[in-house]
Amino acid sequence: MLIKTIFSGFGGQGVLSMGTTLANAAMLEGKYVTYLPAYGVEVRGGTANCTVVVADEEIASPVASEPDFVIAMNQPSFARFQSILQAGGLLCANSSLVNTESARSDIEILAIPTSELAEKLGTIKVANMIMLGALIKASNIISYEAMIKNLNEILGEGKAKLIKLNKEALELGYNYVKE
């Protein structure tokens, strides 16, 4: 197994933390993992993306030529990364901000209205965790149960107060996606 995922969006949408969260969860499951951030000199509002590779064997390249999954949190990211998604790949789009029409017929698009869902929890800040929950349901990258169990360790000491909120957000995204 070797699964490559690209997370992309505006700086400030929690794109990089989605990546580190997935990478940490996969590592705690005993998998090989690489996390490669790409951001320019931009601050909040600029573009950001990261590549996470999860595998059962040693990972050669942390750079993904043709990702299996793309998460696009904004329109420019959707436009840019849908083209490199491999045939049969899944694109999870933040449909609150993204027009999910694509010219490609060989990929699957999953629309998640993260802003609307996040409103139920009272803060837009967890939109990224809602998206991550949806990705975990729609993919076989990591075990959702193991992730929830390890959430304290995954998010780290500084986030202790936010465990409950993050768990709710992951659950909301996870349950939004039907089997």
Partner 1 sequence: MKRLMSGNAALGEAAFLSGCTCYFGYPITPQNELTEYMAKRMVEAGRVFIQSESEIAAINMVLGASVTGARAMTSSSGPGMSLKQEGISYLAADELPAVIVDMVRGGPGMGNISPAQSDYLQATRGGGHGDYKTIVLAPGSVQELTEVVPLAFDLADKYRNPVIILGDGMLGQMMEPVSFDDLKPPAEYEKDYTLTGAKGRPARKMHSLLFDTKLLEEHNWKLSRKFQRIEQNEVKYETYLTDDADMIVVAYGIGARIVKGAIKRLRQENLKVGMIRPITLWPFPAKVLQEMAKTVNDFFVFEMSAGQMVEDVKLSLEGKGHIHFYGRPGGVIPTPVELFRIISRHYYQAHALKRKK
Q: Which one of 61-69, 74-82, 127-135, 137-145 is the stretch in contact with partner 1 (CB under 8 A)?
A: 61-69
Three-state secondary structure along 63-121?
CCCCCCEEEECCHHHHHHHHCCCCCCCEEEEECCCCCCCCCCCCCEEEEECHHHHHHHH
Tell the smallest beta-carbon distance from residue 81 to partner 1 (Å): 13
- Which of 5, 8, 13, 24 lies at the binding interface for partner 1 (CB under 8 A)? 24
Q: Does 56 bind partner 1 (CB under 8 A)?
A: no
Question: By C-beta, is 75 or 143 nearer to partner 1?
Answer: 143
Q: Does 20 bind partner 1 (CB under 8 A)?
A: yes
Task: With CB under 8 A as the rule, give the number of residues binding partner 1.
Answer: 19
Number of other residues whose CB lies within 10 A of the CB of residue 98: 23
Phi, psi of 63 (to 5 degrees): -90, 130
Q: Which one of 7-15, 58-66, 92-100, 143-151 is the stretch in contact with partner 1 (CB under 8 A)?
A: 58-66
Using the 8-state DSSP alphabet, how is residue 122 labeled? Answer: T
Question: By C-beta, is 28 or 121 nearer to partner 1?
Answer: 28
Taking 3-state DSSP, the helix, strand and coil percentages for the chain, each rounded to the nearest 5, stand at 40, 20, 35
Q: Does 36 bind partner 1 (CB under 8 A)?
A: yes
Indicate the residue type of 39: Y
Tell the smallest beta-carbon distance from residue 104 to partner 1 (Å): 18
